[in-house]
């Protein structure tokens, strides 16, 4: 393992940039949750675009961090980060930054899971409403082919209302 200090500041900088982006993502997910609860479709749509951009940015930052690790002779996975931190020349603040990033990632993952549940519940509600409006059987349809409301009588004859 190479223990030169040339890339140490770069890795620490990568961690700090990831923390900023992950903080933004976690905040955005909280806004998305509120918009989902309020049923604000326009806001959810806007936030989804912002979320996509942040996820892309986070992917780029993660790749930069992994590259910095590999340049130091460490594997680019979690074990590589642990090995990197076991080096006595590492600043404690870098260890704190890594833990902060892990904590923020866990928070964002949980917020995303909750938002997924909210989206799924709304989808089920919408599907139920559509099923009621469309009625799977034409004989049970609330609206006739001419767009007029229909009622089925007990004898099976249709009565057109309207």
Q: What is the pLDDT along the chain (162 residues), one digit of tens a residue?
A: 444 444 457 888 999 999 999 999 999 999 999 999 999 999 999 999 999 999 999 999 999 999 999 998 999 999 999 888 887 677 778 889 999 999 999 999 999 999 999 999 988 988 888 888 887 555 555 666 677 776 654 445 555 554
pTM, to two decimals: 0.73
Q: What DSSP string runs through the chain? A: ----SSSHHHHHHHHHHHHHHHHHHHHHHHHHHHHHHHT-HHHHHHHHHHHHHHHHHHHHHHHHHHHHHHHTT--SSHHHHHHHHHSTTS-HHHHHHHHHHHHHHHHHHHHHHHHHHHHHHHHHHHHHHHHHHH-SSGGG-SB-TTS-BEEE-TTS-EEE--
CATH classification code of 8-136 = 1.20.58.300
Q: What is the pLDDT of residues 116-136, one digit of tens each?
A: 999 999 889 888 888 888 875
Structure tokens given for 5: 């200090």
Per the document, the length of the chain is: 162
């Amino acid at each position: 393992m190479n223990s030169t200090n040339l890339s140490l500041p770069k890795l620490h900088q990568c961690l700090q940039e990831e923390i900023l982006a992950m903080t933004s993502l976690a905040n955005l997910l909280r806004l998305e949750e509120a918009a989902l609860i309020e049923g604000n479709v326009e806001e959810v749509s806007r936030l989804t675009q912002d979320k996509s951009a942040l996820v892309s940015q986070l992917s780029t930052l993660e790749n930069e961090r992994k590259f910095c690790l590999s340049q130091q002779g460490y594997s680019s996975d979690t074990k590589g980060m642990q090995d990197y931190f076991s080096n006595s020349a590492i600043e404690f603040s870098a260890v704190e930054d890594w833990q902060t990033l892990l904590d923020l990632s866990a928070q964002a993952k949980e917020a995303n899971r909750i938002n997924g549940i909210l989206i799924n519940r709304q989808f089920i509600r919408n599907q139920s409403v559509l099923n009621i409006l469309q009625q799977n059987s034409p004989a049970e349809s609330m609206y006739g082919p001419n767009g007029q409301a229909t009622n089925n009588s007990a004898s099976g004859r249709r009565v057109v209302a309207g």
